[in-house]
Amino acid sequence: MTTPDSSQDDATDRSGARPTIRLRPNTDARAIRRGIPWVFSDQIVSDRRTRALAPGAIVRLEDAGRQPIGTVAATTGSRIVARLLDADPEAEIDRDWLKGRLVAALDMRERLFDAPYYRLVHAEADGMPGVVIDRFGEIAVIQPNAAWAEARVGEIAEILTEVAGLRAIYKNASGRARGLEGLDDVSSMLIGQAPDGPLPVPMNGATYLADLTGGQKTGLFYDQRPNHAFCARLAGQGGRVLDVFAHVGGFALAALAAGAGSAVAVDGSAPALELAMGGAEASGVSGRFETRREDAFDAMQAMGEAGELFDLVVCDPPAFAPSKPALEAGLRAYERVARLSASLVEPGGYLTLCSCSHAADLTKFRSACLRGIGRAGRRAQLVHTGGAGPDHPLHPYLAESGYLKALVFRLLP
């Protein structure tokens, strides 16, 4: 019996047509055939030719018995060593293939949204692993977070202009995943000119300002759109709203557009709050909108001590548990957010707590929130559990694609 290494000191298939990587005998090939899109470094046979593959190489994936599984993009220096592109092991990842994926993604968004403001491509869930594209009218921001996509980003941009009628495309290279793929962090315009300033984005009756080249991620978070709309109804006519970790005022501006009496947005970023105020002015609600640049925990502590109360409190913090090693500390942070924010809700009012940490699943996140609410001496009804909007589809075999959780509680009198 040969060892995996000695049996695989040839990473090209016998036809010479395409390099091949092979699963170790103890790897469940059936799970990958059913749809799991990632193969990890400890699941493949590693030999000198496999290790010599260029980052993002298009290769054929085989099981331990040499039966083909599909076409993958391989980056052997990454923890995710292979990303499934196509179940056809001979698929050509060419212009026609890219266009087919982009057209399919565009078709779904055009059925879902009346205006061209949405996430156009949501990575693995749209069959383009590591690729995120957000659309802002005639401009798009693309994040090629995998080496195979970085090598084709120019072609992807050209196809986007063709199928979606875009006039400008910006490449955002700030994603943490790029470092794991050996990619740089240099952002640039791929097509057209950068916008002169923040772009107005209509959403949920409000107007938001998106800074495509200098803001966080792609400039705006579309994923919370349905949760903004749901919470806006709970604020009520004339209600008082507190939006903590507000970024550009997502929840606050939607609530004001729906008739809330006033809203306070708390965030530690001055540029984000400037965009929030600009959005309030563009929405015609600046007279009812206030921003506070403070540490969120300090602000909530101070407001609680001052006895401030709101009809709706929303906390949408950054990922406190971005990985499994950070999970326990992250859950404690979510519990603390829940405790501090629960004390700021009027009896009978509403509290929305959000998490974008994929390491903290819904059950763990909900438990942390309930502990915090209980520690604040409050009783709650869970009235709604939300996730990302349909322009952020969930890959059924990739929990990371369902990262966003929003829990809406009514705090009982």
Residue 292, both tokens: 């506070």
Amino acid at 226: P
Q: How far is CA 390 from CA 162, 182, 224, 241, in A?
A: 24, 31, 10, 26
Could you give the angle at the alpha carbon of 371 between the alpha carbons of 367 and 377, nearest 5°? 145
231 assigned to active site: no
3 state DSSP class of 337: helix
Closest listed residue to residue 294, CA positions, set 332, 255, 249, 245: 245
The Cα–Cα gap between 235 and 313 comes to: 9
Strand pairing category for 289-293 and 262-267: parallel
What is the Cβ-side half-sphere exposure of residue 205, based on CA atoms within 13 angstroms? 17
Angle (CA) 155 157 162, round 5°: 95
Backbone angles phi, psi at 41, to 5 degrees: -60, -30
Q: Please spell the DSSP secondary structure of 45-95, one letter per residue.
A: ---HHHHTSPTTEEEEEE-TTS-EEEEEEE-TTSSEEEEEEESSTT---SH
Q: How many angstroms from the chain centroid is the CA of residue 58?
A: 25
Among the options 231, 315, 356, 369, which is catalytic? 356
- Name the packing angle between helices 362-375 and 327-342 (round to 10°): 40
**Which residue is it, tokens 């995998």?**
146
Helix (H, G, I), strand (E, B) or coil at 347: strand
Catalytic residues: 356
